[in-house]
Structure formats: structure tokens, C-alpha cells
Structure 1
């Protein structure tokens, strides 16, 4: 297994980016203050006990309450017979129960498996089976999917929460509206499940047993398509994430070189916590800095999101190009007071220059792009936060991070010459879960991770992405792999052949286009879309379908997606 804490540097690695650093940023990070995330959690919750850690739908959770509830839930998880290293699925949107559960799982010595709550039963079953998860915490809105997916998995314990469980008396009304008025909870049956509030109550009478954890122990299995289209769990250790938090902390300090640092940092958390971007930049950095995270359960409801932004003096706004663009098109957002906004951090997908220019004109705060992947915990590079320019690049490698542009044989390429972006640093994963061959394919022998993105580095150390090596499609910051879509579509009666590609989309950056050769002449576009809706979560579904008589193929019969892209 790779050593995630290794920071050794090959003498051959040139580091032109160091001369572009702000004077206050060191080349390497200092030794970590804490060995594990629970160590950091306990220290920060004690230090910031009375401060608000999270707010959601008008209710607030202090750091002291977060520590209390996470401790109770952790004790209950241990009482179920779960032992160090066992995996626990966390399947819910941005509600207060999410961070409580995340930190409870880690405090119990267990491993978090983040799951998109919108997954279909097929997608969920794969992730549960592959991870070997023994327990699952899920919002009741998605319990019907869990009921379908559980057979054949190792899951023996399911804790079910309701939207209003952490909202006090108001929560009773919220649950009634969600269940009976909006009818957002399909019928489900999970015999033996434990209600979330009961799990907290049970934990009050239990003692949390200390678990000996080390920085090299696994904290998260963060699932990603990687570069081959096979869904893989990136093994992120406590050390990986603590290192990335330290790197980000040093980088964040420069955002306040030219403006006063606020007494409290308020993060907007509109990106889902099950995504690595929000997990690290919101949940973990919020913990480290004692900041408040304003949780947004449904960021697609732009008017409601604008209202939340207006009610909170947001300091740090992590987001995607699609979110920025949607807000800019809302007239109420443009009239808000944005004077508190110190940092807008763009990631997950390329930020378009016109969107960046409009954002700065409206908010007075430039968007700073960064870059990373699930495999890098996630942030590997970022633009300087003290400079006003929008560079259109992914910025400079963070401290203790090395970036090389390499050719197919792994040879380093000179500035300006495009090749594969490769990353080495303490935030790089320990490998893929139970996939040594995939791990070997993704890593060079010297510890550099192969991202699958093609780019070049300027003489100043700024990296520009120009293309993707593989056929991965990027929809609103989420990886979508043609193999998975094609496999699903091929199970539909009437399809002879198919191929999926990404096409430009003004809202999501890219959208999925599907080419189909019919076996049955009366096969319709609506049939295909309905089939995909049953088996693929929304962002993976084809938005465009084109029927062809045949698909272009190589001499050995491989479908040539690049010819379909034109």
C-alpha cells in the first residue's frame, strides 16, 4: 500500500511554482497537529464549544451539541457490534444529521462510505457490496431505494432519520409536510431499523469505547469513477485529510492579506457533503477553523438558496460554475449585500471566464479556481487568494504538493508542452479499495498519481487543463463514465449498440449524449429515457439521443467515441 504521509521529493522534480507563492506560504507543511480526525474533532469542539457549527432550515447546532450527539451516536454504533475499520454508509443530503453521523462514524473507529442519496437501487447495491458496508444511515426519503438494494449486501444495521429530526418542535411540522403534503417519502419497509432519534437516545446510556487510531488508518472510502469508468473506492486516510486541511489552512490565510480577517468564518454549504469537495472544504475546514456551515439541503431551489444567502453574512463560498451562473441569473441575488464575501472558491469543473467576470461585477469577490479529485482529498492546486486576477488556470500546487506534466512513458515534459497532469503529495490516496491492479495503473512507481487530465504548466508554475485523457464526461462537477451508461442501455430490449459521449451544455458544463443503433425499429427515445431513469441517477441520464444505422469502429471492432464527438 502507498504511504500517504510520504512527502519525499525526487531531485529531478522541478518546482517552478514556489517562486510564485505568496511570501507567507511555506514550500512544505509543518508536522500535523493531530494524528486523526477524531483527535482534531475533540480539540476543536472543546475550543469552539459555544459557537455555532452548523445551521439548517432555521435551526443551529453548536460545536458542543455536535460533539455530544456524535458521541452518543458513536456509542450506539459500537453497541451494534461494529468494530474498528468496519464501513458505514452515509446516505443523506445536507441536513444536520449528516455531520453528526460523519463524525460519529469516525469517533467510533469506523470508516465513512459517502453515498449519493439520489442513487438508484442498482447504483446503491454496487457501492454497498463493493465497500462491504455493515451499517447504513439514511434519510427516510430514500429508504425505499435502500429496501430494494439491501438483499445480497453485508448491511445488517440501518438507522433511518427524518428531515425534521434535528429541528426541535418545528421538526414535527416539517416531517408532516414532507410525508403527507409534499409526499416526498415513498412507502418503505426495513424490519429492525433504528430511528435516528432512538439511536441518539440509546447512546446516552452507553460509554464510547476508545479506539486506537493512527494517521494511516482509513477514514473514508470515497467512490469515484477514476479514469477507466470502473467505480472504485478511493482509500482516504486520516493523514490524507488532515494534510489537505493543513495545506488549505496555509493557503486560506492569504485571502486576508488585503482585507481584515473576520471574527467568524461563515461557509455556504450548497454543495453536497457526500461529494469530496464539500466534505473537505466545508465540513472539515469548518471544523478546523471553528466556522459556521450554512447547510443547503436543496441547492436547486435557487430562490430559497438566495434567501439563505441573504440571511447569513457568508464569508467563504465554495461552488461550481453551474451554481454561480444560476445565482447570477436570479435578480434577487444581484441585489444582496455581498460585502462580507471574502473568498469564492470554484472547483469540480472549469469556471467559465464570462461567469467569473459577472460574478466579480455583482459580488465584488473574484472566483478563485482550484483543482483536485477524490483521490487527492481533494485539493491539489489553487490560484493565489490574495491576487484579484482570474487566471483561467487551476493555479499552483499547494505546499508539499508536486505536480508534473508527463508523457505516456512517465517522462517529465517541459513548460508549455501538454501531457498528463500527475500529482504527488501527502493528500494523495492510499490506493483503491480491493483493487490493487487499478491502484498500480493509477500510480507511477515514484508515487505520482495519474489524473487522466491533460494539461501544461507555465514557467510560473500555473497549470492549464486542455483536455481529458479518457472518455469521462463532467456534468456539474460529477464524473460520468460512458461505460456505465452504455452497460445500462444495453439491457434494454431493442438496443443493438450504443455509445455515450459528453457534449457542451450551458447549464452543466457537459451533458450526456447517447448514440443508439436499434435492434427493434419501433424503439423510441422516450423508452430509452424511461429505462435510464429507472437505473441511473439524474446527472448520468442522457439529455440527447441520436439514432444511427451504425457506429464508427476501429479495425478490431471497438466503438470510436472520438469520431462521434466530431
Structure 2
């Protein structure tokens, strides 16, 4: 494993091509030399505020140039970046702050007072923080971070009723970045248009991939989706990472405005693009390739299809990354032959270190091999592999699902419902072919009021389509909620 801290990605890029564009947002552009200088100012500012090795710095911002300075400045100190989605509701954010215990929180100015009301920890708006950072002299970076030090805490979106962060060490982040880069092959002349939030690891790793290649990343922030195609054209973007909602919007926009673009590569992970969407994307952008990927935050990425390889291997999510082994195992952990469906188990240098302050959950998912001592990640995802080693994803056997492009958990929805005054019990049913996300509650206000309360606590994708009041929740013989009985009642 490498002993180079993540900050060295920026150090190397700034040393080899200081004047090359590094990052652009709606307000301007920085070269790699400028980004490095701003990150060193940020590191000096953080140190002056008492942030040190291993301390957490929480950033709750839309993407922008300053975000990258905060990212690299934090890593330069050997501190830990905690990126948080600016759309996260106060109900969830309070739990994340309590869990991470950040030394400092930087948020957008419009929400500074609201975040301060949630915690006694220092909270600064970006305007206040940046005014102080701009007055600093760029400090020389003598980082104390080594490969086993933590670089990132990545809070997963809706995986449990309590906050859960994946612990990402420097060596693991670098291993993931280099393995993805070996398959996607970003170039020095690429312009990566990243409409994704940097709190999403798919978005954040675009920063590292761009630095490794010496490419430019565009972080437009919260621009309306209808401006997506215009932004891609105006920045001469060549690489665009997509989730399904953005892909659909791009196809619609291109139908009205079919002029060619500079895009050579679309990538997709997070929520899979259905084959009709991939075909529509190719038809709308005939000069671009599409690379489909599969991964989870716990190891960043598992597999990647070569650009347009899905045309020859429909349904596949690609081969495992370099230096990565993926086993398909049965419920007893025994390896299965090609063609048989089981759980994906991942081994490789990019398997992360477990969950922050959650040893029981870590022990369930990150299991050490008795023979080799190596940690293997039991993903909870199911599928099969073919004789050549390509993977095919089938789904999950639990209550975590994708809805409107976001990972959602029934446990998280239930926890939010139980926070509504008067709700005594709550059980959520995941969507299936016959229904959308449905919530059953006992007690409390009327269903419409419950939905209004949930909209104040959850992102839109996590708000149930239907809320039903019942006198009691049916139970199984083990005293657990009988979800099958609830679903049968709906049918």
C-alpha cells in the first residue's frame, strides 16, 4: 500500500503543471498553483483555530472552488474531512454532528444560524470563514498524514436509523482513485463537469481523479438542471459523471438543442442507468462513450465496464478493479461458480476501514479472513459473475433501496416518523412492482400532516408516497413487525 497522503495528489499536480486550470465554478477559475496556495492558506487558518491531526472538519456546502481548498487544506493538516449534503434536514444533521464531533463546521451563510442552533461546536458561514482564510499567508505543508491515517468520514445516505460513516484512510482513498483512473483513463486535457454534490463520494472522487490526471474540474454548484446542457457547452466539458435523473434531463435538453458538444465520456454509478436510458444518451450524444460502474461507499468502486462495453455484455457492471477480487458466495460464505447468484464479497486495497464508532456493524460487513488476515467486505449486494469474470448485479436482500436516484432505508424513514409528535409506531414498506414507498403509523396526526412533518425531516426522495394510519402494527411470532401482513393488506 502507498504511504503517500492524499494531499500529494495536489502537490504533484501543482509542481508538474502549475498554470494548468484546476477548478472552475460560476465565479471564476483557479490554476493548480492557485488551488495549492489557497489550500495552504486554509490549512494555516484551520491550525490557527485549533484544528489538528485527526480532528474532524465538517463541510456542508454546495460545491465550489472554496470547497476544494477546504478539502485539501484539511487533508494537509492530517485532519479529517466530513462532507455533508447541504440538503440534509436538521433532524438528520443533528445526529451527524453528534456522531462526528467536528472541531469546526463550515456551512453556507444562509444556514449558519440554523446549524448553530443544533450544536455548541464552532460553526462558520463560508463568507466569514473565507474572509479569514484570505488574510492568511500560504503555509508550507509538512503533513503528518500517513497511509493509515483517516482522510474522510463519508456518511452514507439512508443506510440505518442512526448516522453511519464509512472511515476512509489515505491509502485506501489513493488506491481507489488510482484503480478507477486505470479503467476510465481521464486525460490531462479533460474538463470534468461535476454537477454531483461533493458530499456524494461519486462527486468527491472526481476531484481526486482530475488531480491525478492534471485535468480541470468544473463544480457549478446548485444550478438548475435545465441549465445542464448549456453549462456543459460553455465549459467545453469532455467528461460528465451522471446519475439517471441527470441523464434523462440531458437527453430531453439535447432533443431541443441538438448541436454537438465536446463530451467524449459519460460515466454512471450510484443508481444504475437502465438500458433504454443508455441508448437514448448515445443517440443524443453520438460522439460520446458511456462507461457503467458499480460500487458502494464501503470500497468506493467494485467494478467498471470499459467504455461502451455494455454493447457486447448487456446487463454487466464490468470487471473488478485492478488488484481487486470479487467472490460470489452463498449464505454460508462458500464461493459459488460462475452463473450462480450470491452475495458479492470484495477484497482489495480500496476496502475501507469500517464504520465510525460502530464496531458491531463493522464486524458484520468487514470480516477478517482467518487464513490470510485480510479484510473482506460483505457488500449485502447480490448478483453473479460470468466465466470471464464480469459481474452482473441483481439487487439487495434487505430494506435499502434506490428511489429517485437516492439510497433510502426504511429504518431511516421510520426513525423520522417516530420523531413526529404523537406517532407511537411506524413501519415503512420499500417500493415494489405494485406500490411506491408506503408508511404505516400508529397514533399521531392525520396522514397528510405526517407527510408534511416528514418533508421537514427528510430529502424528497425519502418521503413516503402514502402514509396510512392503522390501529396496531401486526407482529410475527418473534415479536417483529409483520411486513408481509401489511403488504398483503395493501394488496
TM over 0.5: yes
Check whether the contact 1:475–1:539 (CA below 8 A) recurs between aligned residues: yes
* Aligned mate of 2:253, from 319, 327, 330: 330
| Cα distance between partner residues in 1 of 2:38 and 2:436 | 41
Determine helix, strand or coil for the equivalent of 1:336.
coil
| Cα distance between partner residues in 1 of 2:469 and 2:254 | 40
* Aligned mate of 2:400, from 465, 468, 472: 472
Determine helix, strand or coil for the equivalent of 1:503.
coil
1:231-253 deviation digits (Å, cap 9, x = unpaired): 21111011011111111221123
Count of residue correspondences: 481
Are 1:382 and 2:304 counterparts?
Answer: yes
**TM-superposed deviation, 1:161:** 1.4
RCO higher in structure (CA 8 A, sep ≥6):
1
Check whether the contact 1:266–1:291 (CA below 8 A) recurs between aligned residues: yes
Counterpart mapping for 1:87-486 below 5 A: 87-151=56-120, 155=121, 157-162=122-127, 195-204=128-137, 207-208=139-140, 210-224=142-156, 229-253=161-185, 264-280=189-205, 282-298=206-222, 301-331=224-254, 334-338=257-261, 340-364=262-286, 365-376=288-299, 378-385=300-307, 387=309, 389=311, 391-446=314-369, 447-486=375-414
Determine helix, strand or coil for the equivalent of 2:22.
strand
| Cα distance between partner residues in 1 of 2:109 and 2:256 | 32
| Cα distance between partner residues in 2 of 1:263 and 1:430 | 31
**TM-superposed deviation, 1:229:** 4.8
TM-score by length of 2: 0.91
| Cα distance between partner residues in 1 of 2:49 and 2:227 | 39
**TM-superposed deviation, 1:476:** 4.0
1:8 paired residue number: none
Check whether the contact 1:229–1:472 (CA below 8 A) recurs between aligned residues: no
Check whether the contact 1:223–1:231 (CA below 8 A) recurs between aligned residues: yes
| Cα distance between partner residues in 1 of 2:302 and 2:180 | 9
Determine helix, strand or coil for the equivalent of 2:36.
helix
Bigger mean CA deviation after superposition, 79-88 or 327-336 = 327-336
1:503 paired residue number: 431
1:190 paired residue number: none
**Change in CA separation of 1:158 and 1:496 when aligned onto 2, cut-off 3 Å:** closer
**Change in CA separation of 1:524 and 1:226 when aligned onto 2, cut-off 3 Å:** closer
Determine helix, strand or coil for the equivalent of 1:374.
coil
| Cα distance between partner residues in 1 of 2:191 and 2:484 | 44
Check whether the contact 2:76–2:145 (CA below 8 A) recurs between aligned residues: no
Determine helix, strand or coil for the equivalent of 2:368.
coil
Determine helix, strand or coil for the equivalent of 1:369.
strand
1:12-61 deviation digits (Å, cap 9, x = unpaired): xxxxxxxxxxxxxxxxxxxx5x6111122111122221111111115112
Question: Which aligned segments of 4 or more residues in structure 1 are displaced greater than 3 angstroms?
Answer: 206-209, 225-230, 331-334, 493-497, 546-553, 560-566
1:446-482 deviation digits (Å, cap 9, x = unpaired): 2210111111112221212212121012234432211
**Change in CA separation of 1:229 and 1:534 when aligned onto 2, cut-off 3 Å:** closer
- Structure 1 stretches of 5 or more lacking a match? 6-31, 163-194, 256-261
RMSD: 2.4
Counterpart mapping for 1:513-528 below 5 A: 513-519=437-443, 523-528=445-450
1:11 paired residue number: none
- Structure 2 stretches of 5 or more lacking a match? 370-374
Bigger mean CA deviation after superposition, 62-71 or 530-539 = 530-539
**TM-superposed deviation, 1:491:** 3.2
2:453 paired residue number: 531
Check whether the contact 2:77–2:144 (CA below 8 A) recurs between aligned residues: no
Determine helix, strand or coil for the equivalent of 1:150.
coil
**TM-superposed deviation, 1:393:** 2.1
**Change in CA separation of 1:315 and 1:404 when aligned onto 2, cut-off 3 Å:** same
Check whether the contact 1:296–1:305 (CA below 8 A) recurs between aligned residues: no
Check whether the contact 2:428–2:437 (CA below 8 A) recurs between aligned residues: yes
| Cα distance between partner residues in 1 of 2:145 and 2:167 | 15
| Cα distance between partner residues in 2 of 1:341 and 1:113 | 31
| Cα distance between partner residues in 2 of 1:565 and 1:330 | 39
**TM-superposed deviation, 1:524:** 2.5
| Cα distance between partner residues in 2 of 1:144 and 1:395 | 46
TM-score by length of 1: 0.80
**TM-superposed deviation, 1:532:** 0.9
